[in-house]
Amino acid sequence: MSDGEAEEKSSVSDLLAAVDRGEPGALDELVAAVYPELKRLAHFQLSGERPGHTLNTTAIVHEAFVRLASGDGRWNDRGHFLRAASTVMRHLLVDHARKKRAEKRGAGQMPLTLEDDRYATEDDSLAVLALDNALKDIAEIDPRLEQIIECRYFAGLSVNDTAEALGMAVRTVERDWQRAKAYLLKAMDADAR
């Protein structure tokens, strides 16, 4: 069994590396591994709706880790998991936002069922897509900045968690976050014009 564990461990970091390299299928595999638990927790959180209630993605990510780590042992590196969860969340939301945009353009003026429209607005989709685009430009300058923003904005991680996820010193993340923020603000500014 201990051999199996070791192998699983390496496969998570391999998978993350493969995602970073942009290997085909790697992201899908990561999503399949992480998404169900994230979704279940998000669902759980949202079902207890209260007015003004917000979705706490950080809590979801941490809770998901606790659950997965106590499972098959594949996820015993918290940093890896945080990183994976951030990537999956970005992928999920961007993908969804694109779909929404496409539906909006393709569909006639009559919404089929209004429930489809229940949650996200056009603006929400646009905001996420703009962020995704800005990240791609920022990655050209320094891929680490993209990862930091991904962790912080898509998963809602704190600076400390982000440091853990990316295996960096907190101080470095703090300084890089300043750079990331500067580029992000500029990108969003340009986007707004």
Partner 1 sequence: MNTADNRAVDEIFSEALALSGEERAHFIRRRCAGDEELERQLISLLDASEASDDALAQRFDTAREQLWRSVLGDEENAGEDLSGQRVNAWRLVKRLARGGLATVYLAQREDGAFEQTVAFKVLRRGLDTDDLVARFRAERQMLSSLDHPSIARILDGGALEDGRPYLVLEYVDGLPITAYCKANRNDVRECMRLLIQVLQALHHAHKHLIVHRDIKPSNILVSTEGHVSLLDFGIAKLLDPAALPGASTLTRTGVSLLTPGYGSPEQHAGRPVTTASDIYQVGQVMYELLTGERPFDGPRQETDTSTVQPSRTLRGKPLYNKVRGDLDAIVGKAMHPEPARRYASAVEMVADLESYLEGRPVLARPDTLRYRLVKMCKRRPWLLPVLALGILAVVSYVVTLTLYTQELRIEQRRAEAAQTFMVDLLRSADPFVPADPDRGRDITVVEALDFGVQRLETDLHDDPELRASLLASIASVYGSLDQFQGAIVLQEEALALQRGLYGDRSQPVLASLAMLAKNYRVTGDYERAIRYYDEQLAVAQDLYSADHPSVGVAESAAADMQSALGDREASAALYEQGIRKMRQAPAEHSRILINALVALAQLQSSESHQDAMASLSEAQQLATEVDGSDSLSMALVHAQIATTSSQHGDYERAAREFQSSIDIYESRLGSDHGATLSALNNLGVHHMRTGDLESAEQLLRELLGRREQKYGMEHREVANAAQNLGMIIGRQGRFAEAIPLHRTAIEIYAATLADDHYIKAFPLLSIAYAELQLDNHSSAEGHARQALALLESTAPGTYPAGVAQCLVGLALEGQGRLEEGRAMVEAAHKHPAIGATPEPYRSACRVPAPAP
Q: What kind and span of H or E run contains 13?
A: helix 2-21
CA–CA separation, 84 vs 148, rounded Å?
Answer: 13
Residue 170 in contact with partner 1, rule: CB under 8 A: no
**Contact region with partner 1 (CB under 8 A), list: 12-20, 21-29, 68-76, 95-103:** 95-103
Residue 136 in contact with partner 1, rule: CB under 8 A: no
2/54 with CB nearer partner 1: 54
- DSSP class of residue 154 equals I
Instruction: Give long-range contacts, CB 8 A cutoff, 24+ apart: 26-33.
Output: 27/87, 27/91, 30/84, 30/87, 30/88, 31/88, 31/91, 31/92, 33/74, 33/84
Residue 182 in contact with partner 1, rule: CB under 8 A: yes
Among 47, 105, 192, 193, binds partner 1 (CB under 8 A): 47
Site size with partner 1, rule: CB under 8 A: 55
In angstroms, the Cα distances linking 7 to 15, 37, 62, 123, 193 are 12, 22, 24, 43, 50
For residue 26 the two structure tokens come to 């790697």
Residue 157 in contact with partner 1, rule: CB under 8 A: no
12/57 with CB nearer partner 1: 57
Q: What kind and span of H or E run contains 71?
A: none
Among 31, 33, 93, 157, binds partner 1 (CB under 8 A): 93
Residues contributing to the site for partner 1 (CB under 8 A)? 39-40, 42-44, 46-55, 57, 89, 92-93, 96-97, 100, 109-110, 113-121, 123-125, 127-128, 131, 140-142, 153-154, 156, 175, 178-179, 181-186, 188
